[in-house]
Amino acid sequence: MATSFVDKARISIHAGRGGDGAVSFHREKYIAAGGPDGGDGGRGGNVVFKVDDHMSTLMDFRYKRKYVAGTGMNGQGKRCTGKDGETLYIKVPRGTIIRDTETGAIMHDMSSGEDWIAARGGRGGWGNVHFATPTRQVPRFAKPGLPGESFDITLELKLLADVGLVGFPNVGKSTLLSVVSKAHPKIANYHFTTLFPNLGVVYVDDGVSFVMADIPGIIEGASEGAGLGHDFLRHIDRCRLLVHLVDVSGSEGRDPVEDFDAINAELREYNSELADRPQIVVGNKTDLLWESRENIEKLREHVESLGYTFFEMSAASHQGTRDLVKECARRLSELPPIARYEADYVKPEPKVDTSGELDIRQFDDLWVVEGPWLQRLIASINFSDYESRMYFDRILREAKVFERMEEMGVKDGDTVSMYDLMFEYKD
Q: 425 and 308, same structural domain?
A: no
- Of 305, 334, 363, the domain-final residue: 334
- Is residue 122 located within the same domain as residue 14? yes
Is the whole-model pTM more than 0.85?
no
Is 345 a domain residue? no
- Residue 216's pLDDT is 77
Q: What is the mean pLDDT of the chain?
A: 87
Q: Which residues in the chain land under pLDDT 70?
A: 1-5, 28-34, 135, 183-196, 217-232, 290-291
CATH number of residue 407's parent domain: 3.30.300.350
Q: Is residue 22 part of a domain?
A: yes
Q: How many domains does the chain have?
A: 3
Domain boundary residue among 125, 159, 193? 159
Are 154 and 174 within one domain? Answer: no
Q: Are 46 and 119 in contact (CB under 8 A)?
A: yes
What is d(CA 344, CA 152) in angstroms, rounded to the nearest whole number?
16
Query: Does one domain contain both 233 and 375?
Result: no
pLDDT for the residue numbered 96: 94
The CA distance from 213 to 324, in Å, is 15
Phi, psi of 149 (to 5 degrees): -70, 150
H helices of 250-400, in order, are 256-270, 272-275, 294-305, 321-334, 372-380, 386-398
Q: Are 401 and 425 in contact (CB under 8 A)?
A: no
Phi, psi dihedral angles at 42 (to 5 degrees): -75, 155
Domain ranges, residue 81: 1-159
- CA distance linking residue 183 with residue 37, whole number of Å: 64
Residues 184 and 152 in one domain: no
Those residues with Cβ within 8 angstroms of residue 347's Cβ, 6 or more apart along the chain or in another chain = none
Identify the pLDDT of residue 191. Answer: 46
Query: Residue 342 domain-assigned?
Result: no
Cα 287 from Cα 231, distance rounded (Å): 32
Residues 115 and 195 reside in one and the same domain: no
Residue 138 confidence (pLDDT): 78
Question: In this structure, is residue 82 part of a structural domain?
Answer: yes
Q: Looking at residue 159, what is its pLDDT? A: 81
> Are residue 382 and residue 426 in the same domain, yes or no?
yes
Domain-ending residue, one of 159, 177, 202: 159
